[in-house]
Chains A and B, each alone.
Chain A
Amino acid sequence: MAQIFHPTANAVARLSIVIVGLVVIGGLVTLDQLTRAPYGTEVGVAREQPVPFSHKHHSNMGIDCRYCHTSVEDSSFAGIPPTKTCMNCHSMIFADQTILEPVRESWKTGESLQWNRVHDLPQFVYFNHSIHVAKGIGCSTCHGRVDEMPLTRKENTLYMGWCLDCHRAPENFVRPKDKVFDMAWTPPANQAEVGKELLKEYKVDTAHYRMLDCYLCHR
């Protein structure tokens, strides 16, 4: 190999190579940390919405998620309620509140409300709600306590590693089907055994070549 430093180079010059190395490593670590910090992941960051819709207030009334997210059990897409759903109640309740003006405007003009997406997978990823709901994965496992959120925010990164954490060991997260919409559900002490039983009951094929197959999500 060729000589990097001339024999007359002093200690400072030699040290510079170490410093350059450290700067490069430092930069990469910073980038890596940024993508994992809320700045990159947007976890816990609430989005501006045309109407400050609060799941907290509406879930307190005991409305089921499916009243608004109608297709969550049948489709890849959970569904966002049409203006009509809001007007079912808000033609009477708060009918003259100014914060609800965009809703009434949409109802009058026929122009849709435009909500800002909170959870947004890249277009090259296939995700499907109905299979997860059908196999006993609850909303709160992925979305957190939505019923306590004044403005909707993300609870998890939705990074590939996060999906795989569960696809590798779904027995840690699976719950009885009648608890899927139960926001307050927490795993029981013996989740390890119960989980395995439930997976058997739901006929989940946990073989790694299936649950971790790239083609499952990238098709």
Chain B
Amino acid sequence: MNETSFQPESDVGMTLSEARAQLAKARGRNYWRSLEQLASRGNFQAMLKREMPRQATDVEVSDWDPIDRRDFIRLMGASLALAGLTACTKQHEEKIVPYVKAPEELIPGRPQFYATAFVHDGYAQGVLAESHMGRPTKIEGNPEHPRV
């Protein structure tokens, strides 16, 4: 393998004097927090793109470094605070809709069970049905039905 292709090219790195010159202008927020950030000032981005095209897109957002601890905490804080907000909504209002004429033998809130039949291949098939307020929720074969 040709080793020279891994050597940083001369326009990529930063010389000490270049770094000094940059930092002399920097104040407050603009100071560097890490060597990576300092390095990213020069032509580091260009080098990244050239050498590692896949990763380059991730790191490209130069002044909004995705692995920045503060941004991470800021985002997490915001999502936590917003998650808490969901508990601040009121329950939506519900209606109770009773019968006009209640069927006999129905106890609201309790299921009813019927032995009934349905037609399958031209024959009546005995089934047991569970019904909640008129809605069938379970149907199974009736073991006592003569056709079984």
Contacts and interface: CB of A to CB of B under 8 A. Distances in A.
Interface of A: 31, 40, 70-71, 74-77, 79-84, 106-107, 110-117, 120, 122
A107 B100 contact: yes
Contacts of A115: 95-98
Given A77-B109, A83-B98, 7 more contacts: A31-B88, A80-B98, A83-B100, A112-B100, A115-B97, A117-B93, A122-B91
The secondary-structure label for the interface of chain A is loop
A84 to B, nearest CB: 5
A194 B110 CA distance: 33
A75 B102 contact: no
Given A31-B88, A71-B109, A77-B108, A82 B95 contact: no
Interface string B86-121: 001011011111111110000111100000000000
Contact of A71 (B88, B96, B108): B108
B100 A120 contact: no
Given A82-B102, A106-B100, A110-B100, A116 B95 contact: yes
A40 B88 CA distance: 9
Contacts of A81: 98
B100 A82 contact: yes
B91 to A, nearest CB: 6
B110 A71 contact: yes
A203 B91 CA distance: 36
Tell me the interface secondary structure of chain B in the complex.
Answer: loop
B93 A82 contact: no
B110 A74 contact: yes
A200 to B, nearest CB: 29
B102 to A, nearest CB: 4
Contacts, number: 68
A199 to B, nearest CB: 26
Nearest to B91: A120
A113 B98 contact: yes
Given A71-B107, A75-B109, A79-B108, A117 B94 contact: yes
**Of B88, B94, B99, B110, which is in contact with the most chain A CB atoms at under 10 Å from its CB?**
B99
A117 to B, nearest CB: 4
A122 B68 CA distance: 41
B74 to A, nearest CB: 16
Contacts of B95: 114-117
26 contacts: A70-B108, A71-B108, A71-B109, A75-B107, A76-B110, A77-B108, A77-B109, A79-B107, A79-B108, A80-B108, A82-B100, A82-B101, A83-B98, A84-B99, A84-B100, A106-B100, A107-B100, A112-B100, A113-B97, A114-B95, A114-B97, A115-B95, A115-B96, A116-B93, A116-B94, A120-B93
In this complex, which of B94, B95, B98 has the most chain A Cβ atoms within 10 angstroms of its Cβ? B98
B91 A111 contact: no
A80 B133 CA distance: 14
Most chain A CB neighbours (cut-off 10 Å) among B96, B97, B101, B107: B96
Contacts of A117: 93-96
Nearest to B106: A71
A79 B102 CA distance: 11
B102 A84 contact: yes
A161 to B, nearest CB: 15
Nearest to A68: B98
Contacts of A70: 107-108
